[in-house]
Amino acid sequence: MSREAVLTREETKVYESEEDILARQRTKTRRRKRNIWLLRLGIVAVWLGSWELTATLWIDPFVYSKPSKIWERLVEWFSIGTDFGSIWYQLWVTVEEAVIGFAIGSIAGVVLGVVLGRSAYLADVLAPFIKAINAVPRIVLAALFVIWFGLGLPSKVATVIVLVFFAVFFNAFTGAREVDRNVIDNARILGASRVQVMGSIVLPSATSWILSSLHTAFGFALIGAVVSEYAGARAGVGFLISNAQGTFDSAGIYAGMIIMTVVALIAEWGIGWLERKLLRWRPNADDNAASPI
């Protein structure tokens, strides 16, 4: 066999093996996703089945409830309504409080975090005050806001703002501090103003830090809305949970928790979609590493 024929066969072999590698990688990725979902569904099925069985045979369902009763309560709420009106109205009240507080708290956290991140002097002056406010238990603030602003929307939004602000602030602060000093110095040499440096270098560099904090921040927004409604409200999912506790309706408590969990998962998906759109330039490490939980 000639040398040229051997080389041709080797080149074809290399080419085919690259194709095989890519095909195996795609197959492996699909199989991994499928196995993950199957395992998740299996865990949920075992958990719910064990709960239903133990609540039927051994433990008191009045105290711990059981999946079938929780499902009945959810069906009742969404088909007939709650004792305080439509479940959609209750859900709207809570989501409205969470979204308004999330927007205000996020903007305030980003602005103050970036400003203090670029100003060591201001950071040193305000640091003890920020730490002191952050150390105050949120349930105490929620109670104070109810006294100050009443049972309406303002007290709920104020509680959400406090929770969201600190979640975003510390990430924005760290992101602004992590900007490469050499890049800023080079921009200054080229004649960039402070505003141009902030808008063209600092904010884009801190974007990944800020967006990653939004995942946690919206969860805090929902928690803040529910906690503030729990402290005192006339409507909302937190109000339903509080009323269910007062009437020893454990199924109602779990039903409220499930509703808020679904809302949080939908919001998480939306924030993740926004993050992928805004950070297209960032290398995607999902193909080379296991995805986070």
Looking at the structure, do residues 26 and 84 belong to the same domain, yes or no? no
CATH of the domain at 130: 1.10.3720.10
Which of 27, 42, 59 represents a domain boundary (last residue)? 59
**Residue 284, in any domain of the structure:** no
Clarify whether residues 78 and 53 are in a common domain: no
Do residues 157 and 266 both lie within one domain?
A: yes
Q: Is residue 213 part of a domain?
A: yes
Residues 53 and 71 in one domain: no
Structural domain includes residue 290: no
Q: Which two tokens stand for residue 151?
A: 């049972």
Q: How many distinct structural domains can be found in the chain?
A: 2
Pair (54, 82) in one structural domain: no
pTM of the model: 0.76
User: Which amino acid is located at 151 in the chain?
Assistant: L
Distance between the two ends of the chain, CA-based, in angstroms?
55
Q: What is the pLDDT of residue 287?
A: 47
pLDDT score at 88: 92
Range of the domain at 31: 1-59
**107 and 54 together in one domain:** no
- How far is it, in rounded angstroms, from Cα 162 to Cα 169? 11
Same domain, 31 and 97: no
Select from 44, 59, 74 the last residue of a domain.
59
Instruction: For residue 70, tell me if it sits in a domain.
Output: yes
Residue 291 covered by a domain: no
**Are residue 21 and residue 161 in the same domain, yes or no?**
no
Which pLDDT score, from 0 to 100, does residue 221 have?
92
Q: Is residue 52 part of a domain?
A: yes
Both 84 and 223 in a single domain? Answer: yes
Whether residues 124 and 221 share a domain: the answer is: yes
- Same domain? For 269 and 221 the reply is yes
Which of the listed residues 59, 76, 94 is the one where a domain comes to its end?
59
pLDDT tens for each residue of the chain, 293 residues long? 555 554 455 554 445 566 777 777 888 888 888 889 899 898 988 888 888 888 888 877 777 888 888 898 999 999 888 888 889 999 999 999 999 999 999 999 988 988 888 788 888 888 888 888 888 888 888 888 888 988 888 889 999 999 999 989 988 888 877 776 777 767 777 777 677 777 677 777 777 788 888 888 888 999 889 988 887 888 888 889 988 888 888 888 999 999 999 998 998 888 888 777 776 656 554 444 444 45
Regarding whether 206 and 92 lie in a shared domain, the answer is: yes
Q: Does residue 289 lie within any of the structural domains?
A: no
